[in-house]
Chains A and B, each alone.
Chain A
């Protein structure tokens, strides 16, 4: 891996979202244990939807989201959605870095 390419940026970004706080809390717990990823933020975006943004190496993010989705479903969430951005564009990186201030209630 070439470290210099990613000096400033985030390598890969993943977003996982479900209805209810507990499924996402469970997902965060298992994601951090399963792979070496950073949890950027957990955002309550209304209508019981909670979204969690993670970053890290692509493989780690992929594994983490798989595990996270599985454990969120195990707690009873039916509408778990997730997506991996292998090489996130600037807006997605900004979203990962400062989602709470972007999505915060005003």
Chain B
């Protein structure tokens, strides 16, 4: 099978979780909870506008789901969570959208090749 054109989720097991909060404190709390609860990677942090900030995590479906639950619970204690959603099997177009907002600083730090080539362990 040829390597997926879109590198995010190239190994076919990549789910995406997105969370949006009002303010940086709840978002930071959510990110911390998400990456420490299960095996997910934060690939994007972005400013949406009007005080809303969004973060995206990738991983396998179950870890992403648990991570999002933990992230939402933690963030609610600190502020407003405007939305949170898990995409178990995102379409290629959706992956491209997330790649578009992915931050190089984040993906480089985790040493992840998942956003780079899509090859596992590369």
The answer to whether A and B interact is yes
Q: In the assembled complex, which residues on chain B have CB atoms less than 8 Å from the CB atom of A83? A: 25, 28-29, 78
- B50 contacts A94, CB within 8 Å? no
- A102 contacts B109, CB within 8 Å? no
- B105 contacts A98, CB within 8 Å? yes
- Which residue on A lies nearest to B49, using beta carbons? A46
- A94 contacts B105, CB within 8 Å? yes
Q: In the assembled complex, which residues on chain A have CB atoms less than 8 Å from the CB atom of B87? A: none
Q: Kindly identify, within residues 70 to 106 of chain A, every residue whose CB is under 8 Å from any CB belonging to chain B.
A: 81-83, 85, 88-95, 97-99, 101-105
Tell yes or no: B51 within 8 A of A by CB: yes
Q: In the assembled complex, which residues on chain A have CB atoms less than 8 Å from the CB atom of B24? A: 15, 17, 43, 45, 49, 51, 53, 99, 103
Report the interface size for chain B: residues with CB under 8 A from the other chain.
Answer: 28
Q: Which secondary structure dominates chain B's binding surface?
A: mixed
Give the number of residue pairs across the A-B interface with Cβ within 8 Å. Answer: 90
Cα distance, A95 to B60, chains bound together (Å): 24
- B28 contacts A92, CB within 8 Å? yes
Report the interface size for chain A: residues with CB under 8 A from the other chain.
Answer: 31
Stretch at the interface among B11-19, B39-47, B90-98, B113-121: B39-47
- A45 contacts B47, CB within 8 Å? yes
Contact residues of A with B, CB < 8 Å? 15-17, 43, 45-49, 51, 53, 81-83, 85, 88-95, 97-99, 101-105
Q: Which A-B residue pairs are the 4 nearest by beta carbons?
A: A47-B51, A51-B24, A91-B42, A81-B25
